[in-house]
């Protein structure tokens, strides 16, 4: 008679535990092919459990092919491939992976959730639930809910000078998803030019999508036209309004040259990644490349994750009219990747002015945080040996240190003292395409006391590593 201790089942249902025990005995060869199992009633009595428990366990085993029945004769073990017997033990629990504890992580700054309007968002969600009803249960169009695309179109016209019909807008779960769509839309045969130094994830996504990529050098004015021409690229991925990570702004003359480059040959397009355009702290926002495009060669991409929260995976792109029909024909069969609830809630958040109010509030908050971080750096012992740049926009700035110490050595020394650094050279696609000794500081959420401690550590490291610092204490 089969004997199992059902009290050892833990959180499993009794029938599920019994099913697992019998299955294990079959696979281990303890129950052989053709062997008859006890009747449901006799096994239930033996195990002091309900007949339904045995019945459900037998039924699951039969459904999976471990048992078969003979009419009026009962259950028999099927002939299945065995594996060596193993001691029966409780399912292993995955051990939590230890995470490095940093005094300060200058590579990531804060969480990006500072100031999220929870109460407003919750209020809008409740309204959406009560007013939209069954619309939330139906599939939304592949390119996004009509309400959200209309709201985005109005937002772009008011704040970014982009005139686009809702039909040109495609909503997706993150910019990474949209990059994949673009590769499928424009073709894997094309060469995709990516900024160097730049956002390396874009290059990786294009490559994983089967496309060839080519690095295009970046200078103080953004993408180098000479490097672009030499790269052989047909598609250019660029952030002309605030290049990451250098912070370069592409002047109007070069923007026009980029458009002329795209217009010069059929099949050339520019992907304009406007990832943090909301956070410009001096003067007006820089007009988009798309807004001066007259030939329909710019695909505009942006996200709400930066402005609201990383977990809110809602991004969008604006396709030129010439590509809109191609998108419908080639990719219109895709299902929408963003939940309807979030789409309808964000639509109202935009329409009712909450997004604008949030951006205005966060712009002030981030500016104050940026100023405090920069002041702390410049007033520290390290301050006389460094220079700040690229601080006029975005959620990061550059800090160039006067040192001969290599980035690798400084990073290793700092990590040994629980300070994590991010260098401009980390974003180089080719050796030498980015200068040494320049830190990329993501400032949101930085604790100023921890920053002071980290700066003291860096100053001490450089004092002992670099002759320039000797005798200056």
pLDDT one-digit tens code per residue, 4-59: 988 888 888 889 999 999 999 988 888 999 999 999 999 999 999 999 999 999 98
pLDDT greater at residue 308 or residue 88? 308
Fold of the domain built from segment(s) 6-77: Arc Repressor Mutant, subunit A (1.10.10)
- 10 Å CB burial of residue 138 (0-12, 13-18, 19+) is exposed
388: Cβ–Cβ under 8 A, 6 or more apart, which residues?
Answer: 374, 377, 378, 397, 398, 399
The mean pLDDT value of the chain amounts to 90
Q: How confident is the model at residue 354 (pLDDT cuts 50, 70, 90)?
A: very high
For residue 98, the model assigns a pLDDT of: 61
Q: What are phi and psi of 462, to 5 degrees?
A: -70, -30
For the chain, which residues make up each domain, given as ranges?
Answer: 6-77, 104-111+358-469, 118-355
- Rounded to two decimals, the pTM is 0.80
Please identify which residue in the block is written with the tokens 């772009």.
Answer: 156
Query: Quick check: 469 pLDDT over 50?
Result: no
- CATH code of the region 118-355: 3.40.640.10
pLDDT greater at residue 393 or residue 191? 191
For residue 202, the model assigns a pLDDT of: 92
For residue 346, the model assigns a pLDDT of: 98
Q: How confident is the model at residue 109 (pLDDT cuts 50, 70, 90)?
A: low
Fold of the domain built from segment(s) 104-111+358-469: 3.90.1150
pLDDT greater at residue 421 or residue 86? 421
Query: Quick check: 271 pLDDT over 80?
Result: yes
Q: How confident is the model at residue 310 (pLDDT cuts 50, 70, 90)?
A: confident
Sign of CA dihedral 304, 345, 355, 121: negative
Q: How confident is the model at residue 344 (pLDDT cuts 50, 70, 90)?
A: very high
Percentage with pLDDT > 70 across the chain = 93
Query: Quick check: 89 pLDDT over 70?
Result: no
């Amino acid at each position: 008679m089969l004997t199992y201790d059902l009290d050892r089942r833990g959180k499993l249902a009794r029938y599920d535990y019994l099913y697992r025990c019998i299955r294990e005995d079959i696979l281990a060869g303890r129950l052989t092919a053709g062997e008859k199992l006890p009747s449901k009633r006799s096994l239930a009595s033996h195990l002091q459990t309900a007949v339904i428990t045995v019945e459900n366990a037998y039924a699951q085993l039969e459904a999976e092919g471990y048992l078969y029945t003979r009419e009026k004769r009962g259950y028999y073990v099927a002939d299945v491939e065995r594996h060596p017997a193993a001691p029966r033990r409780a399912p292993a629990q995955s051990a939590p992976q230890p995470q490095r504890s940093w005094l300060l992580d200058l590579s990531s700054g804060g969480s990006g959730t500072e100031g999220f309007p929870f109460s407003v968002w919750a209020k809008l969600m409740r309204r959406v639930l009560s007013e939209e009803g069954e619309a939330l249960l139906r599939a939304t169009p592949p390119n996004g809910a009509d309400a959200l695309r209309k709201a985005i179109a109005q937002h772009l016209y008011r704040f970014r000078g982009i005139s686009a019909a809702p039909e040109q807008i495609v909503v997706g779960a993150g910019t990474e998803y949209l990059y994949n769509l673009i590769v499928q839309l424009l073709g894997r045969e094309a060469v995709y030019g990516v900024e160097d130094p730049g956002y390396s994830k874009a290059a990786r996504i294009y490559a994983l999508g089967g496309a060839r990529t080519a690095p295009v050098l970046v200078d103080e004015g953004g993408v180098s036209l000479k490097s672009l021409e030499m790269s052989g690229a047909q598609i250019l991925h660029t952030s002309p309004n605030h290049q990451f990570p250098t912070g370069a702004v592409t002047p109007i003359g070069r923007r026009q040259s980029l458009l002329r480059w795209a217009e010069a040959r059929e099949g050339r397009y520019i992907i304009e990644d406007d990832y943090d355009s909301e956070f410009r702290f001096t003067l007006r926002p820089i007009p988009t490349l798309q807004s001066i495009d007259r030939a329909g060669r710019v695909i505009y991409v942006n996200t709400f994750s930066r402005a609201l929260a990383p977990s809110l995976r809602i991004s969008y792109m604006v396709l030129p009219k010439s590509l809109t029909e191609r998108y419908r024909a080639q990719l219109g069969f895709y299902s929408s990747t963003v939940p309807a609830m979030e789409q309808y809630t964000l639509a109202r958040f935009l329409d009712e002015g909450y997004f604008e109010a949030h951006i205005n509030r966060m712009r002030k908050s981030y500016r104050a945080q940026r100023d405090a971080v920069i002041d702390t750096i410049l007033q520290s012992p390290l301050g006389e040996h460094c220079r700040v740049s690229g601080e006029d926009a975005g959620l990061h700035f550059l800090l160039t240190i006067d040192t001969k110490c290599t980035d690798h050595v400084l990073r290793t020394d700092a990590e040994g003292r629980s300070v994590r650094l991010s260098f401009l050279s980390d974003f180089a696609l080719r050796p030498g395409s980015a200068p040494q000794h320049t830190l990329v500081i993501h400032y949101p959420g930085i604790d100023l006391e921890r920053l002071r401690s980290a700066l003291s550590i860096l100053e001490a490291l450089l004092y002992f590593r670099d002759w320039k610092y000797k005798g200056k204490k």
